Structure 1
Amino acid sequence: MKRNFFLTLTCASMLLPIAAQSQPLASSVSTTATPSLSSATSVNQTSIASSGRFAEPVKAAESGAITVKLTGFVRNDFSYDTRQTVNLREASVDLYPKDKQLDVNGQDINAVTNFNMLAINSRLGVAFTGPDAFGAKTSGLLEMEWFGPSDAAVGGVRLRHAWAKLDWPKRQLAFGQFWHPLFVTEVFPGVVNFNTGIPFQPFNRSPQIRLTEHLGKDVHLILAAIAQRDFTSIGVNAGSSEYMRNSAVPNLHAQLQVKKERVVAGLAFDYKLLRPRLSTGSGTTLLVSDATVGSTALMAYLKVVGRATTFKVEAVKGSNMTDHVMLGGFLAYGTPAVGTTPAVEMSYKPTGITSVWAELVGNGKTVVPAIFVGYCTNTGNDPNAIAAYGRGIGIGGRGGISDLFRVSPRLEVISGKFRLGTELELTKAGIGTSTTDGKVISADQITNTRLLFTTTYSF
């Protein structure tokens, strides 16, 4: 029985139509990324890696045909940090350096170097196409990784993408979990680090319904209604999707994209509404809370492909961007706690950020040099808040972040499906005392330098 099964599987795999390495048609531009032009090698179009590469595409199926292709890679990371960092998954993803923590002798406890080796960033996926449905071409992607669903479950399997698409000549309708539209698969940092440019670059995968209208050969309108799951807002009960679910309003997104052979440009608007609490107070002061906090984000991006280099730039001005692994969150306003009387949060306002990054990448096929630069600043909100919820913000005491800066030159060497990468990442954080408007004063510049080496074998 086993012999017959493997014989059948082998024969079937020999008959599967595998695509040539080519650019996708305009009908799939919005949700199937084009090969990263930071290198001229073929890349994994259905499985975006933090190394900035994708899986080889699968041809559109003929009517009635089914194609299946395994995609993924085996990746190993070797990193060295000059100090302790705020990070995810055993420092696999570093965000920014930790603040100074002085002992009784005035020595900084966090000024300790760190070395790490991890293989949890490896990935496995299945890309497939099937028979036409409703007059549209059909395709999909299922992908998993060993990054783990939380810091307590490093090495565990988690769902990455579960994505199905219907493509008509002038329209695409897609469902499932995929990249949030603020993560533009055509224009994102191709850094060696698995952090993919965060916290300067929006980074989020979410369940969603996405409609793409092809207004012309090069112009596309993207509309989406989005939930939270893999990446969530930070609130009164830490990170959770309940705040958006309790608002009963999905995250709404609109984006206009222009895509030509050597230029990709776009503008995006994003809106979400959270309900941080169902009640305030306790005992005789317990009251239903219907207070909500709305937030918006505006984003502009550009990629220009030259003969020898590719240039990318992106700017984001938004608020409450913690679900995109960025700085900020929201502030609570009301009556502070007095003695045994608990605080009563009556209203909320989001804290703002302005973030910009740029990247210059060589277009070589075997040796690919590049440099990434990012800057982000915290713009806070109104004063007299009684609580703060988010990342890098507060309303008193040490620990708030005023701004972040990063520069990271890198070099990658490619041979067939094997890739070696090295990167020197310098991240500087302005960390100081938070005021009641979520801003920061008396900031000290804290710096971490990460030296990274990676090996990646794609299939």
Structure 2
Amino acid sequence: MKNQISTFLIILLAISSFSYGQSNDLDKKYGINWSGFVKTDFMYDTRQVVSSREGHFAVLPAAEDIEDGKDLNDQSNFNILSIQTRLKAAISGPDFFGMKTSGAIEAAFFGNSDASIGELRLRNAFVQLSNDNIEILMGQYWHPMFVTAVFPGTYSFNTGVPFQPFSRNPQLRITTKGKVKFIGALFTERDFQTKGASVSKSGIPQFHAQLQFGNASKTLGGVGFNVKSSQPNLGDDNLTSTAFIGYFKTKLGNTTWKAEATYGENMTDLLQIGGFGTNSNGDYVNNKTLSMWTEFCGDFSETMEWGLFGGYTENDGFGEAITYENGFLGTVENAFRVAPRIGWKSGALTIGVEGEFTNAQYGEIDGNGDITSSSDAVNNFRLVTSAIYTF
């Protein structure tokens, strides 16, 4: 880990030093702006949860695990972690054939797996070209279905998962400018991958098209379409999966209202419940999932902020009998979450408190490929206290 951190810092410091040595004759100097935050989370759960990084990224309460009549997952958990701490370098430079250029490198100490927790992990790394009409992004950045202008502002690092799509992908993205924007992207998968299948081995990149309307500072909305080809095993036929998204955000006085809905197939790469299976003929079949969330947030004053998040997701099954299933929480029938929060801010420091109540109904895949309840619903209440120091 020390070698990774040292290499990262040496590279960025070299860029910083290089920027000061440029000739004043250049139209645009090289430059680098540092930003980020130090964040510590204190987390208490009333139940064991499906999660990653020692419970830091909580998804849903764990299903019942009955042994001798006792549910082993009906047990509380507490942890303190600072691994979400983040460092970002925003880089500027000379024009490229008349187009403005910029770049960014962002990393955190989240690790790439539970085994590497605390180690430096690449989040975003991209180059961007822009002029008055268009922006071109090349590199690793948020999946287009994680809309950076409309996403939950929770203190919990799960950011609304599994109700909110969540992924970062290597991509080529083109965005037009104006009151109506077109966003088109070709991309593959890296840290967030389709469970049990490979997009890269399909030989076809994912494609996303989106129309966005309005102004991010006032009222904004959009609709999008996603298509993905993946290959479960070498030599198999590709499995084509589609997904749709609709969202909006608006200001209501001092309050901001956000809402989003997605419906799609095999969206495990977006940390959505579901996956795919095979039918009696051996053909691959997508699992369909509906997810939606809404949030109200604002400021009580210059020093106090608040928010209320609510989400619901439903597993719509396969639509036909299957003999095999591969996915992420594929036997969850439905789940919902309510999460109020309040924060105190002064200068660069915010102290936030959030309560997160999540209910999940687990089930079984029946003979028609539907998910039906097979046990009692399980609940978890997570209490998060976060200290966030930005720079």
* TM-score > 0.5 by shorter chain: yes
1:409 has 2:340 as partner: yes
Which of 122, 127, 144 is the aligned partner of 1:181?
A: 144
CA distance in 1 between counterparts of 2:343 and 2:209 reads 35
Q: Deviations over 1:187-213 (max 9, x none)?
A: 000001000110000000000000112
> One-letter code of the match for 1:165?
Q
Instruction: List alignment gaps of at least 5 residues for structure 2.
Output: 1-9
The alpha-carbon distance between structure 1 residues 127 and 424, as it changes in their structure 2 partners (threshold 3 A), is same
Q: Which residue of 2 aligns with 1:454?
A: 386
CA RMSD of aligned residues (A): 2.0
1:424 has 2:360 as partner: no
Instruction: List alignment gaps of at least 5 residues for structure 1.
Output: 17-61, 236-241, 279-288, 336-345, 394-399
Which of 181, 205, 210 is the aligned partner of 1:250?
A: 205
CA distance in 2 between counterparts of 1:249 and 1:15 reads 43
Q: Which residue of 2 aligns with 1:54?
A: none
Q: Which residue of 1 aligns with 2:309?
A: 372
Which of 12, 20, 33 is the aligned partner of 1:69?
A: 33
1:139 has 2:114 as partner: no
Q: Deviations over 1:84-140 (max 9, x none)?
A: 000011100110011111221x12111110000001110111111110002100011
CA distance in 2 between counterparts of 1:412 and 1:166 reads 37
The TM-score normalised by the length of structure 2 is 0.91
CA distance in 1 between counterparts of 2:176 and 2:146 reads 18
Matches within 5 A, 1:107-256: 107-214=70-177, 217-235=178-196, 243-256=198-211
Q: Is the 8 A contact 1:433 1:443 kept in 2?
A: no
Cα distance, 1:258 vs. partner? 1.2
CA distance in 2 between counterparts of 1:169 and 1:311 reads 30
Which of 345, 357, 366 is the aligned partner of 2:293?
A: 357
Cα distance, 1:148 vs. partner? 0.5
Q: Is the 8 A contact 2:361 2:373 kept in 1?
A: no
Which of 329, 340, 344 is the aligned partner of 2:275?
A: 329
Cα distance, 1:15 vs. partner? 7.7
Q: Deviations over 1:328-381 (max 9, x none)?
A: 11011246xxxxxxxxxx310110111110000013432011100000000011
CA distance in 1 between counterparts of 2:63 and 2:149 reads 35
In the comparison of the two structures, how many residue pairs are matched? 372
Percent of residue pairs bearing the same amino acid type: 38
Aligned residue for 2:198, secondary structure, equals helix
Q: Is the 8 A contact 1:321 1:327 kept in 2?
A: yes
CA distance in 2 between counterparts of 1:249 and 1:12 reads 41
Cα distance, 1:306 vs. partner? 2.6
Cα distance, 1:386 vs. partner? 1.1
Q: Is the 8 A contact 2:266 2:274 kept in 1?
A: yes
Q: Structure 1 residues 326-335 or 261-270, which shifts more?
A: 326-335
Aligned residue for 1:246, secondary structure, equals helix
Aligned residue for 2:319, secondary structure, equals coil
Q: Which residue of 1 aligns with 2:229?
A: 273
Cα distance, 1:442 vs. partner? 3.4
Aligned residue for 1:444, secondary structure, equals coil
Q: Which residue of 2 aligns with 1:297?
A: 243
Q: Which residue of 2 aligns with 1:445?
A: 377
Cα distance, 1:14 vs. partner? 12
Q: Is the 8 A contact 1:262 1:306 kept in 2?
A: no
Q: Is the 8 A contact 1:258 1:265 kept in 2?
A: yes
Structure that is richer in strand per residue? 2
CA distance in 2 between counterparts of 1:259 and 1:222 reads 14
CA distance in 1 between counterparts of 2:105 and 2:112 reads 16
The TM-score normalised by the length of structure 1 is 0.78
1:319 has 2:274 as partner: no
Q: Which residue of 2 aligns with 1:263?
A: 219
Q: Which residue of 1 aligns with 2:5?
A: none
Q: Which residue of 1 aligns with 2:4?
A: none
CA distance in 2 between counterparts of 1:306 and 1:433 reads 43
Cα distance, 1:433 vs. partner? 2.4
Cα distance, 1:438 vs. partner? 4.8
Q: Deviations over 1:227-269 (max 9, x none)?
A: 000100101xxxxxx6111110101000001132401110010
> One-letter code of the match for 1:203?
F
Q: Which residue of 2 aligns with 1:343?
A: none
